[in-house]
């Protein structure tokens, strides 16, 4: 087990005026299981990175202190395991079993212990494939299970989890929560960031809420924190169990088809699928991890050619054959991993890039950028580097970049990932307005609340073959 102590801790990313997190005083005792909450941008992921010793001195400014069992985090890394929001940042080997074994080999675990521990960890997270499954062939949710298995195999004294179920289907999320619960047998101290609060509560005995302006807003048992401050926390954006969410039904029937797929396949990634999306309609694509949802999103967004079958999109032809400028004007895509579509070093420049490439005037570009910054609650981050944003902020930026060219069709992969309650509601309202203005919305999602709140039609892909 590991004990955590923070005294007046703060961190500011290089080039940023605002502190990501500040004034945090905490002690987490050996074996405690903590759920770390707070609005998007409150510094939850930054705090986890600090505990893992992953904030180099030359990448920002720090104040106060952080200790793991009395040691600086950089000297206690072998006691700590962290699973990030984006599992791709942790996978390093070509085969799944080798990836889990990698950390054990680096820790000089005896050779005869490595593979039994690999197999045990993969079983705990419900990994469905053999050891030689290529990591490149895994869906985002499957990669998340593999990343967690790699950390559990190390048997860390302090386990840090940053939204470990965000990209998982319900069954996969349940398996991960079971694996986390079992880690108590190893006397592990746990700090968990998770927006699925109701499902996470059985895993924890303490809730800590970070205040966006600095410090700790609330600290106590889950029942005490939510009973005393539930309404106020919900207003501030914290996901408080039992609070209903607004729904948005379409104001008129859908119009013409914007994209139609007929018996399309992608070898080893997507079986034959036929589906269409219409103007004025929100289509939710659901299904288990590995079923091919993200692959279908790439096909419908014109970013991938099918192996067989046919795709037609308005105003005509296969979208993957269109020139980049035409595709950008007609279809906007949001990837599962937001950072995969960032190409500049400032949030405002990221939003301006698409309109500038389309030859729009400087005044028009500036107006578009200002409007999107305001609508997506990114104004204070206009000068920030996109790669320093929190997961929720990065997701909103990726949605904003897709909107910047005013496309008729939006294809979004997990659009509500990483959002707090307030930004979730605002994002769904924004998509509802776009749909009611005649845009088409295609959303790949595991978020049942999102489907209930917005979807006019649901297309369910079957289990992976």
Tokens of 58: 């030359």
Q: Is the pLDDT of residue 451 over 90?
A: yes
List, in sequence order, every residue forming a beta bridge with 9; answer none if it has no partner. 24
Q: Does pLDDT of 456 surpass 90?
A: yes
Specify the DSSP class assigned to residue 71: B
Is the model's pLDDT at 464 over the cut of 70? Answer: no
Sort strands 282-286 and 440-444 into parallel, antiparallel or unpaired: parallel
What residues contact 29, with CB distance under 8 A and at least 6 apart?
A: 3, 189
Cα pseudo-dihedral 236, 242, 243, 245, rounded to 10: 120
Give the Cα separation of 407 and 20 in Å (integer): 33
257-460 and 4-236 share a CATH fold: yes
DSSP 42-78: SSHHHHHHHHTT---GGGEEEEEEEEETTB-GGG-GG
pLDDT tens for 244-284 read 999 999 999 999 999 999 999 998 889 999 999 999 999 99
Look at 163 and 85; give whichever has higher pLDDT: 163
- The least confident of 15-24, 167-176, 210-219 is 167-176
CA-to-CA separations, 259 to 299, 317, 331, 414, in angstroms, rounded: 10, 10, 10, 20
Cα–Cα dist 400/404, whole Å: 6
Q: What percent of the chain has pLDDT over 70?
A: 99
Of the listed ranges 160-164, 175-179, 221-225, the one predicted with least confidence: 175-179
Indicate whether 407 pLDDT > 60: yes
Residue 177: the pLDDT is 86
Element (H, E) at 4: strand 4-13
Q: Where are the domains of the chain?
A: 4-236, 257-460
Q: Whole-angstrom Cα distance, residue 84 to residue 363? A: 39
Q: Which pLDDT score is estimated for 185? A: 58
CB contact at 8 A, 440 and 418: no
Do residues 174 and 145 make contact, with C-beta atoms less than 8 angstroms apart? no
pLDDT average, residue stretch 376-398: 90
The pLDDT of residue 438: 96
- Report how far residue 406's alpha carbon sits from residue 443's, in angstroms, rounded to the nearest whole number: 17
Nearest by Cα to 114 from 123, 106, 105, 122: 105
Tell me the C-alpha distance between 238 and 131, whole Å: 39
pLDDT given at position 85 = 77
pLDDT at res. 331: 96
**Confidence check: pLDDT of 424 > 90:** yes
The stretch 286-304 carries a mean pLDDT of 93
408-420 pLDDT tens trace: 999 999 999 888 8
∠ CA 40-195-411, nearest 5°, is 75
The confidence score (pLDDT) of residue 280 equals: 97
| Average pLDDT of the residues in 134-163 | 91
Strand residue runs (E) in 38-173? 60-68, 80-83, 158-162
- Residue 101 in contact with residue 115, Cβ under 8 Å? yes
Beta-carbon-side half-sphere exposure of residue 68 (alpha carbons within 13 Å): 27
Distance CA 442, CA 383 (A): 30
Residue 184 has pLDDT above 70, yes or no: no
Task: Report pLDDT for 336.
Answer: 82
Answer for the pair 8, 20: CB distance below 8 angstroms, yes or no.
no
Chain mean position to CA 265 = 27
Q: What pLDDT does residue 87 have?
A: 83
What pLDDT, in 10s, does the model give residues 216-250?
A: 999 999 999 999 999 999 998 999 999 999 999 99
Res 141: pLDDT? 78
The radius of gyration computed from the CA coordinates of the chain, to the nearest angstrom, equals 22
Q: How confident is the model at residue 186 (pLDDT cuts 50, 70, 90)?
A: low
User: How long is the chain?
Assistant: 465
What's the whole-number average pLDDT of the chain? Answer: 92
| Residue keyed to tokens 């994002």 | 427
Is the Cα dihedral 107, 112, 114, 117 positive or negative?
Answer: negative
Averaged pLDDT, 179-187: 72
- pLDDT: which is higher, 336 or 366: 366
Asked if residue 4 has pLDDT above 80, the reply is: yes
Residue pair 2/68 in contact (Cβ under 8 Å)? The answer is yes
184 CB-near residues (< 8 Å, 6+ apart): 31, 33, 190
Pairing of strands 282-286, 308-313: unpaired
Q: Residue 308, SS3?
A: strand
Fold of 4-236: Rossmann fold (3.40.50)
Q: Strand pairing of 189-193 and 257-266?
A: unpaired
Report the pLDDT value the prediction gives residue 290, as an integer from 0 to 100. Answer: 85
* 257-460 under CATH 3.40.50.300, yes or no: yes
DSSP state, 94?
S
- Determine the pLDDT at residue 72: 94
Kind and range of the H or E run holding 36? strand 33-37
């Amino acid at each position: 087990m590991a004990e955590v102590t923070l005294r007046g801790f703060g961190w500011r990313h290089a080039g940023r005026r605002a502190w990501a997190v500040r004034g945090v005083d905490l002690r987490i005792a050996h074996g405690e299981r903590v759920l770390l909450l707070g609005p998007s941008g409150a510094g939850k992921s930054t705090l986890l990175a600090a505990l893992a010793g992953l904030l180099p001195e030359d990448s920002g400014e720090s104040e106060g202190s952080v200790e793991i069992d009395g040691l600086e985090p950089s000297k206690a890394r072998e006691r700590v395991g962290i699973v990030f929001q984006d599992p791709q940042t942790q996978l390093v080997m070509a085969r799944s079993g080798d990836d889990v074994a990698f950390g054990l080999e680096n820790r000089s675990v005896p050779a005869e212990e490595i593979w039994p521990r690999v197999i045990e960890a993969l079983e705990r997270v419900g990994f469905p494939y053999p050891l030689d499954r290529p990591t490149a062939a895994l869906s985002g949710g499957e990669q998340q299970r593999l990343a967690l298995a790699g950390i559990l195999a190390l048997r860390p004294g302090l386990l840090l989890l940053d939204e470990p179920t965000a990209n998982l289907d319900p069954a996969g999320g349940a398996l991960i929560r079971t694996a986390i619960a079992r880690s108590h047998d190893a006397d592990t101290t746990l700090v968990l960031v998770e927006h699925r609060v109701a499902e996470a509560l059985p895993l924890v005995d303490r809730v800590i809420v970070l205040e966006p302006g600095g410090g700790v807003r609330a600290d106590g048992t889950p029942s005490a924190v939510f009973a005393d401050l539930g309404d106020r926390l919900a207003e501030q954006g914290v996901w408080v169990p039992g609070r209903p969410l607004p729904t948005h039904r379409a104001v008129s029937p859908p119009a013409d088809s914007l994209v139609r797929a007929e018996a399309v396949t992608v070898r080893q990634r997507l079986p034959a699928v036929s589906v269409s999306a219409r103007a004025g309609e929100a289509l939710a694509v659901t299904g288990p991890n590995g079923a091919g949802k993200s692959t279908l999103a790439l096909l419908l967004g014109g970013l991938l050619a099918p192996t067989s079958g046919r795709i037609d999109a308005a105003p005509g032809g296969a979208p993957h054959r269109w020139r980049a400028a035409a595709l950008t004007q007609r279809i906007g895509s949001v990837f599962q991993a937001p950072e995969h579509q960032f190409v500049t070093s400032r949030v405002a420049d990221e939003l301006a890039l698409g309109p500038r490439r389309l030859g729009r005037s400087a005044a028009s570009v500036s107006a578009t950028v200002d409007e999107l910054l305001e609508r997506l609650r990114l104004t204070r981050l206009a000068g920030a580097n996109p790669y320093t944003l929190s997961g929720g902020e990065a997701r909103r930026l990726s949605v904003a970049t897709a909107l910047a060219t005013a496309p008729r069709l939006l294809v979004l992969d997990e659009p509500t990932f990483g959002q707090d309650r307030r930004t979730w509601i605002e994002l769904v309202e924004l998509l509802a307005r776009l749909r009611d203005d005649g845009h088409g919305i295609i959303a790949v999602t595991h978020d049942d609340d999102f489907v209930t709140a917005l979807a006019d039609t649901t297309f369910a892909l079957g289990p992976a073959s």
